[in-house]
Structure 1
């Protein structure tokens, strides 16, 4: 089956890359060796040309799935006409005995392990494995390596597969049949590069330990890693399972070696059906910095926040002088190209990799960085590592300098519309936010090492001027709302985001009126569109899920806590059965749209659960646990 609903997919990963696995067990997306590397399985975007690793069970009647509690280990249970089997999917990630101050906190093994066990009765079927290297642009060569092992080569890359049952080459792939009684296993290990080992140079399969033993040992180590990580979550409210799932998802989107966090795991999934809004989100956006760091800090994960700042520090050696809108995990964001040989999800192209928005001017990024820096410094009580502390004066100077120079300039705005620049209200508000946080950071240093009193006063004066300007020029009396840009009539849900940063007073009658107008004109029930204007692209995009959660925050800040809580709980039901969210939701069908899982959405889930807790607005005590008893799906 191809063109599965986006909500059918679960995600696993090892903090280097991720894989997407459908409800029926088909592995349809995997980029190696890192998130933004070339895809080696991409049936997600083309079921015919894009390779996959499929599990085919005879007589399948029912499927249920869950994550093992507190982990990113996926467990799918299959019922067939003759028995029951469980598939456990994970990418091995083993704990360091001693976690370094910086860098990965675990050892990724560059493997996908698929542990298939018959629980009762007997089950039969086969594995089908077909990589398609370099986004299916390179032919695949299959070479037997003795025993049950095969090697796949293509486009200068290679994979090794080892299975508890024999794999037989089939054209550009392989197949392995099995017939299992209760207790029987048909485990499959797929490794990137030279071989299947434990990551320490000890190739257990070659040493004769056997596939099941190797799989069991790696599963135990990986489960230990995730359970220890989850155990450090400080949130204990009634939405704990939901919040922890979002935190685990954000952790999957991290890149341990660099510290970066990509916006989403995928590329090319459409935001509009039909349309041409298909982009590559496997890069690091500065716009995500503030909410990313806040989400991790809110849950007690200060190290993850520090690692993201490490990425920014190393990606921008100028210490804020040459800050960019987005970054690749290593090097520059590649030019945007179209993969015309791929049909796209449900035939909706074009499939794009790279991202042309990297060249846009979005001046809100200076405020985003300063919010992230301020949140982290508060979390560590202004006692950061030397590598951060030593460069603070220079970074503050560069970032505030950017704000002062850009305060009157038009830009492309938060939504990366490929149209003309405007005087974006959200940008102006974030410039004020940036100066406000810079002042707070500098005033935390009584020795005036970060900025002298005259400089701080200059920042405060500029901030007051910027705030007065966007309050005056951003208000449209005819529309009765703050609008997208100075002099514009267009409504923009980004205004809600500015309220969350205190750029607007949530109790201000004008803010209340704006929220009312946005709900009326951009709302689709509980959901919200970002905007409803011609943005130069084809098709009508779906609602933007994070915006709906921002409305929760605005209601909470305005003291409408019961209303906010009810909305928050309804929105949580919009995720898939595992609590995962894509970027958008189609208002009519309820289907998820856009790249998945989307970090921006999961940050919003975390931050607004925490915000409700701070407001005393959490009333639920019986949150359904989607991990415990997953809903059965008839095959």
Structure 2
């Protein structure tokens, strides 16, 4: 079996974890019970050793798929030589009778439902389940149970997966199979359950599907964006919701680990953790669409994860604890043989000072959206949090760091970081102007230091020989991250130097509509693909410069780069158009949301200034 293209995958989930479903209906990736739990299915990273849950149909000719509108419910239609069958995949998430002020807004069941319905003719085939526990490091024992279910239990631990079906189950070696022969109007259901006390309840599958559809339709109905790209924006919002962890309020960066950013190469990383930067971007995207509860839930996560109230803000958090040490799983070959497969992330120990700006942008956007009347638990200790964060900014203003791209070589005086330090103090001042959380003397100090930081990076960040602002002080290297600082107002989008930088980045880092993050040496042997979010940042810079006639068609062309379901990974191979990196990637989908909103507001209300405090102008 060959590895499927990354763009072949759809995502389903229940706000605790996600599963990736290939175009042919194979579930090739599932970590249970949480996003960062060990994988149960991981054919995605090793076609031979990794387990899966697939559907095998006789005489298959054609496949097409879609999401039910406004939901994460996946429908895959298979046309065979004798009939047509639709497979519906869903992870149940039921509405609550009453949504609490904090905590999950739905009830996940820890299941996957697979409902196959024959629509015309006759269809024969079978479901096949092969779990490979703990990233295929642990064996499985398959135990038939009374009532016809099969428990797939880990060899060295009590956890497992229970398989139930509406047709008889058989055990063949390390697999559970459920064969079916269906006529028009008939169906077969497969249920995978994680909880040991869950019997699968096949007879409740249809009712559970309906309840889940109701949950997602109600959630989608609260989206406030009604512009021309609503379908793309809503799909991106649904992706971001799937990347949340409802029990904790955390937001992970992506659903997978070790999908390569370079082929060949070794740029394979684990993104199933809560990056302060990425989560802050997501908060801003949620705010831009009216999803204030999701934004407040991340503040709940941070309140519980960081008991220091901003004094010891981390770059990265685990969903329910620390980020594990980076480990290489050398028994797995990797997607298309591109190793290594990593779990954990060594970047958690880096210094990346831009995170103070990222978080304060998100906090400011949330407070502005609730008219500076936040929930009590958000307002509690706000002055203390703001004081600690601004103290961080002032202390590290002259320090080098690894920056937004997490460069694994030496630290530098990175321009993007300096711009975000200014942004941090700027947003702190705006918050203090609206809420009495700092003395006039303290606010005056923030203004003064912000002005000094801004003057310094304008002077030291400009490279007259290159004719552009560059990656770091004294550097000749271009960096697409400079475009983000323009979006946040750290530079004037209409200034000649910014215009020159935009042209230099487009020419030096661009490949058609796509853009590389940078091209300088970074400690890795092989160059990566283009970074999808960077291309959307160019859209935002064009819009802020008043060049919306260029920005709007570029935005539309970039949206067409997604897969058939509108999903994006982290990067795009400029030569082949194939997606690269972990998928679905929150970073890309939040860029889609924020720039759709930016373009829509510019279209409706005219060109906005970058110094406006409203959330839509702050999103990246």
TM-score norm. by structure 2 comes to 0.96
Cα distance in 1 between the residues matched to 2:481 and 2:416 = 6
Q: What are the superposed Cα offsets for residues 38-80 of structure 1, whole Å, 9 maximum, x if unpaired?
A: 0000000001110000100000001110000000000000000
Quote the offset at 1:132 in angstroms.
Answer: 0.3
Identify the residue that residue 593 of structure 1 maps to in structure 2.
Answer: 580
Cα distance in 2 between the residues matched to 1:173 and 1:393 = 57
Contact residue 148 and residue 165 of structure 1 kept, 8 A? no
Identify the residue that residue 173 of structure 2 maps to in structure 1.
Answer: 171
Equivalent in 381, 384, 393 of residue 394 of structure 1: 384
Cα distance in 2 between the residues matched to 1:367 and 1:59 = 56
Cα distance in 1 between the residues matched to 2:419 and 2:9 = 37
Q: Does 1:127 align with 2:114?
A: no
Contact residue 529 and residue 542 of structure 1 kept, 8 A? yes
Identify the residue that residue 162 of structure 2 maps to in structure 1.
Answer: 160
Identify the residue that residue 210 of structure 2 maps to in structure 1.
Answer: 220
Q: What are the superposed Cα offsets for residues 109-149 of structure 1, whole Å, 9 maximum, x if unpaired?
A: 00000001111100001111100000000001100012331
Contact residue 67 and residue 74 of structure 1 kept, 8 A? yes
Equivalent in 155, 177, 190 of residue 192 of structure 2: 190
Contact residue 251 and residue 279 of structure 2 kept, 8 A? no
Residue 94 of structure 1 aligns to a residue in which SS? strand
Equivalent in 283, 299, 303 of residue 273 of structure 2: 283
Identify the residue that residue 558 of structure 1 maps to in structure 2.
Answer: 545
Q: Does 1:491 align with 2:478?
A: yes
Residue 182 of structure 2 aligns to a residue in which SS? strand
Q: Does 1:415 align with 2:402?
A: no
Cα distance in 2 between the residues matched to 1:112 and 1:391 = 41
Gapped runs of 5+ residues in structure 2?
607-620
Q: Does 1:379 align with 2:366?
A: no
Identify the residue that residue 574 of structure 1 maps to in structure 2.
Answer: 561
Identify the residue that residue 313 of structure 1 maps to in structure 2.
Answer: 303
Cα distance in 2 between the residues matched to 1:195 and 1:116 = 25
Spell out the pairing of 1:49-60 with structure 2 (5 A cutoff).
49-60=49-60
Q: CA RMSD in A?
A: 1.1
Contact residue 160 and residue 195 of structure 1 kept, 8 A? no
Quote the offset at 1:618 in angstroms.
Answer: 11
Contact residue 612 and residue 618 of structure 1 kept, 8 A? no
Residue 358 of structure 2 aligns to a residue in which SS? helix
Residue 298 of structure 2 aligns to a residue in which SS? helix
Cα distance in 2 between the residues matched to 1:485 and 1:535 = 13
Equivalent in 469, 490, 500 of residue 503 of structure 1: 490
Identify the residue that residue 626 of structure 1 maps to in structure 2.
Answer: none
Cα distance in 2 between the residues matched to 1:476 and 1:290 = 30
Contact residue 94 and residue 225 of structure 1 kept, 8 A? yes
Contact residue 278 and residue 350 of structure 1 kept, 8 A? yes
Cα distance in 2 between the residues matched to 1:59 and 1:317 = 59
Quote the offset at 1:586 in angstroms.
Answer: 0.2
Contact residue 565 and residue 618 of structure 1 kept, 8 A? no
TM-score norm. by structure 1 comes to 0.94
Cα distance in 2 between the residues matched to 1:2 and 1:374 = 47
CA 1:55–1:269 in 2, change beyond 3 Å: closer, same or farther?
same
Equivalent in 452, 458, 462 of residue 445 of structure 2: 458
Q: What are the superposed Cα offsets for residues 7-56 of structure 1, whole Å, 9 maximum, x if unpaired?
A: 00000000000000000000000001100000000000001110000100
Question: More deviation in 347-356 or 157-166?
Answer: 157-166
Contact residue 28 and residue 52 of structure 1 kept, 8 A? yes
Identify the residue that residue 470 of structure 1 maps to in structure 2.
Answer: 457
Identify the residue that residue 533 of structure 2 maps to in structure 1.
Answer: 546
Cα distance in 2 between the residues matched to 1:235 and 1:597 = 21
Residue 143 of structure 1 aligns to a residue in which SS? strand
Contact residue 2 and residue 44 of structure 1 kept, 8 A? no
Identify the residue that residue 502 of structure 2 maps to in structure 1.
Answer: 515
Gapped runs of 5+ residues in structure 1?
198-202, 206-210, 620-635
Contact residue 90 and residue 112 of structure 2 kept, 8 A? yes
Quote the offset at 1:290 in angstroms.
Answer: 3.4
Residue 258 of structure 2 aligns to a residue in which SS? strand
Identify the residue that residue 361 of structure 1 maps to in structure 2.
Answer: 351
Residue 534 of structure 1 aligns to a residue in which SS? coil
Cα distance in 1 between the residues matched to 2:544 and 2:453 = 23
Identify the residue that residue 290 of structure 2 maps to in structure 1.
Answer: 300
Quote the offset at 1:310 in angstroms.
Answer: 1.1
Equivalent in 509, 525, 538 of residue 512 of structure 2: 525
Q: What are the superposed Cα offsets for residues 503-559 of structure 1, whole Å, 9 maximum, x if unpaired?
A: 000001000000000000100000000000111112110000000000000000000
Quote the offset at 1:293 in angstroms.
Answer: 1.4
Identify the residue that residue 109 of structure 2 maps to in structure 1.
Answer: 109
CA 1:346–1:617 in 2, change beyond 3 Å: closer, same or farther?
farther
Quote the offset at 1:617 in angstroms.
Answer: 7.4
Identify the residue that residue 633 of structure 1 maps to in structure 2.
Answer: none
Contact residue 151 and residue 160 of structure 1 kept, 8 A? yes
Residue 123 of structure 1 aligns to a residue in which SS? strand
Cα distance in 1 between the residues matched to 2:382 and 2:147 = 57
Identify the residue that residue 611 of structure 1 maps to in structure 2.
Answer: 598
* Number of equivalenced pairs: 604
Residue 305 of structure 1 aligns to a residue in which SS? helix
Quote the offset at 1:411 in angstroms.
Answer: 0.4
